[in-house]
Structure 1
Amino acid sequence: MLQARRSDLPDYRPCDDALTRVGVEPAATGRPVNLGPSRRHLVAMVVPGIGYECFEPWLNPPGTVTMHVRQYGYDATLLRVDALSGSEHNARQIRDAVMSAPVSPDSPYIVLVGYSKGAPDILEAIVNYPEIRGRVAAVVSAAGAVGGSPLANDAEQYQANLLQYFPGAKCEAGDGGGVQSLRPAVRKAWLAEHPLPAGPRYYSVVTFPRPEQISSILTSSYNKLARVDARNDSQVIFYDQVIPGGILMGYINADHWAMAVPIARSRPTIGAMFVTQNAYPREGMTEAILRFIEEDLETPSR
């Protein structure tokens, strides 16, 4: 897909640079990949990470991911949840958004994509609200904090609440459970007590950057996490991004912010000074994720 779209993609990288190889991947099959119009018309409903609602007005994202995938019969939309609330609270908002979406007469078309804290928010929604399972074709952890982050152990909710004072922020404090929801003990206990139900298929796209791909502003958090495991994206260790029992799509050679937050495009001065490794072909990555899922859904259920 990258090769076919190279002239159209912002921040294009060849595949060997866009992905991180760990040495045990099987060889490519050589089978042709459908790059034409989508047959299922999948819609990615993206649940963002903690605090996103607070700085979204400042970021003013360009919406290029949505414009790109619509060319091929897909769609993408932001599923808004409380910026600073806990996963249980946000799960109800996800449930309401899914239930209010039109129902397909043919097959489920919604792909819930959880970025960072958005991933545990989605998993709690899938477990707590069985009525949405028949409407969701797939769940994707995209740099998701499925197993939490050790960084949350040293953080307090009042620190996250300071994001309410970000320029242009309109977010509220919510239920005050955002940071607690990201602590590894909380997430791992929840996973142990809540087997994921059948219905949707589960996928993980893991940010596992080479050290030189960490933005300068994220170096300190990368080093802090490296005391636990150097295989991290500056916010989450690679194995904590994986949904248990799901399909691992691949490792992305990008740090936590580069995966989903286009800071360098919206704020080029900040990008040049601090967010120095923010460029990534997110549009192509999103198309590849949706095409992978569409192709996989055509195989018998595992």
Structure 2
Amino acid sequence: MTWGMEIDGDCHTLRSAGKYGRLIEVVREAVELDRVAVQRSWQYKKWCAERWKNLFISEAVRDEAALAVAKKKYGKQSDRAAVALRFLRETDAAFADVEMPACEFSSLRETRFIFCPGLLNGLLPVRAFQRALPELERDGLCQVLRADLHPLAGCESNAEHLARAIELGVGLSADRELVDEKAAQEPKNVILFGYSKGVADILTLLVKRPDLASRIKCIFSWAGAAGGSYIADDVYSVLSGVEEDPDLLDKAIASMAPFTKLPEIVQRRKDETEIKLALRDLTTMWRRQFMLEHERLINDLGIPIFNLSGSTSAMEVPSFQFQGAMRLNKIDGNNDMQVTQDQSRIQMPMATDLAMLHAHHWDMSYDSFPKAIRMSSPHLDHPFPKKAALLASIQLAYELGLAS
């Protein structure tokens, strides 16, 4: 019997018996023994998914706004079931009400949480996790660093900025204040949490700087664009054969977010703007070729990767995203309005799928947009409980022994 088969058997037996406390201990011991070999265990992956959902539900019921949204639709269900049914796909009320031990987590002392934002970072009316990340830090749960990735730059350029965040602690604070080298504190270990194009930037970093792998304890792909985006394909096809034209660039950005104005944003790093390259790096063909060339190298670094993807319907997205969502529906009915499930999930042995969330691409990360904008388009209120998702991810990493 192989070691992988043994952990499979242990997980199955303990899960079936409801001995979750012991199961948590066994899985942590297995990860400490060999965090690469454990990834071959299907039962381990299944447990990680169930545990993340359980932790998420436990935190989400404490979010009064999210709970109110959930109860409005599922008022006859328990609070836990209502939250699960509203914000998780493929999860039923019975699972939501299963009692598991609370995570014995207080805070991360030696591991820095580095957030890697996506395309248009800083160009939209709010930032990704604008309230949630500062709250995590104010609550003493972890130290947060936002990688200072350019909103309209290619992956290789952004990989250099991400490397500086990992090596030096340079970037932006949770509250989005610039952290320069004089004020920076070098991280000992890091969790990378990538959103959208931020995941493609992370993967590029791993190829360019495999020497940093020992510092990276795990990676969370949050609505990641590891496989590119068909929406990016469409925009890039318009831009690729055209000379630089400010008006055309404005139109391209407006097709993704009509209230964003390109000239007003990248003043601090105007010279780094390379919108064609940024979009090219998000095309399906480019990302597919990248993974064909580098998947083995990335997998062999032995860094656990956790996938969390979004799922919505065309009737749940902002009106100006409706056409794109309908286009993606022809490919995958569980798209998040920007990427399909296949594009969003990193697919390799070191990767584990944790959950498909009921939220569109922006709802997963952005707070409510200003009321003036929401009056012109529905579904910009973004009720998804973001802090609960971040905390569940940190708790899972801690519980698995991947962060301390």
Partner of 1:121 in structure 2? 201
168, 180, 198: which one pairs with 1:100?
168
Q: Which runs of 5+ in 1 are unaligned?
A: none
Name whichever structure is richer in helix by fraction: 2
Matched to 1:262, the amino acid is D
SS at match of 1:44: strand
Matched to 1:6, the amino acid is V
SS at match of 2:265: coil
Matches of 1:160 and 1:257 in 2, distance apart?
Answer: 24
User: 1:286, CA displacement in angstroms?
Assistant: 0.9
Alignment partner of 1:59 is 2:130: no
Matched to 1:32, the amino acid is P
Conserved? CA contact 2:312–2:337, under 8 Å:
no
Matches of 2:301 and 2:129 in 1, distance apart?
Answer: 36
Conserved? CA contact 2:153–2:277, under 8 Å:
yes
Q: After the TM superposition, which residues 265-284 of structure 1 pair with which residues of structure 2 at under 5 Å, given as runs? A: 267-276=370-379, 278-284=382-388
Conserved? CA contact 2:121–2:128, under 8 Å:
no
Matches of 2:367 and 2:248 in 1, distance apart?
Answer: 21
Conserved? CA contact 2:314–2:322, under 8 Å:
no
Q: What TM-score do you get using the length of structure 1 for normalisation?
A: 0.84
- C-alpha spacing 1:72/1:10, structure 2 compared with 1 (3 Å): farther
Matches of 1:85 and 1:236 in 2, distance apart?
Answer: 19
Partner of 1:251 in structure 2? 356
Matches of 1:37 and 1:86 in 2, distance apart?
Answer: 37
Q: After the TM superposition, which residues 188-199 of structure 1 pair with which residues of structure 2 at under 5 Å, given as runs? A: 188-194=288-294, 195=296, 196=298, 197-199=300-302
> Which structure is larger by alpha-carbon Rg, 1 or 2?
2
Conserved? CA contact 1:41–1:74, under 8 Å:
no
71, 75, 83: which one pairs with 2:143?
75
User: 1:114, CA displacement in angstroms?
Assistant: 1.4
Matches of 2:64 and 2:248 in 1, distance apart?
Answer: 34
Matched to 2:388, the amino acid is G
Partner of 1:169 in structure 2? 265
Matches of 1:42 and 1:219 in 2, distance apart?
Answer: 40
SS at match of 1:229: coil
- C-alpha spacing 1:212/1:19, structure 2 compared with 1 (3 Å): farther
116, 120, 125: which one pairs with 1:47?
116
What is the aligned-residue RMSD (CA, Å)? 3.0
Q: Which runs of 5+ in 2 are unaligned?
A: 1-54, 71-82, 170-185, 254-259
Conserved? CA contact 1:45–1:79, under 8 Å:
yes
Q: What TM-score do you get using the length of structure 2 for normalisation?
A: 0.64
User: 1:40, CA displacement in angstroms?
Assistant: 5.1
Conserved? CA contact 1:140–1:204, under 8 Å:
yes
Partner of 1:241 in structure 2? 344
User: 1:161, CA displacement in angstroms?
Assistant: 3.9
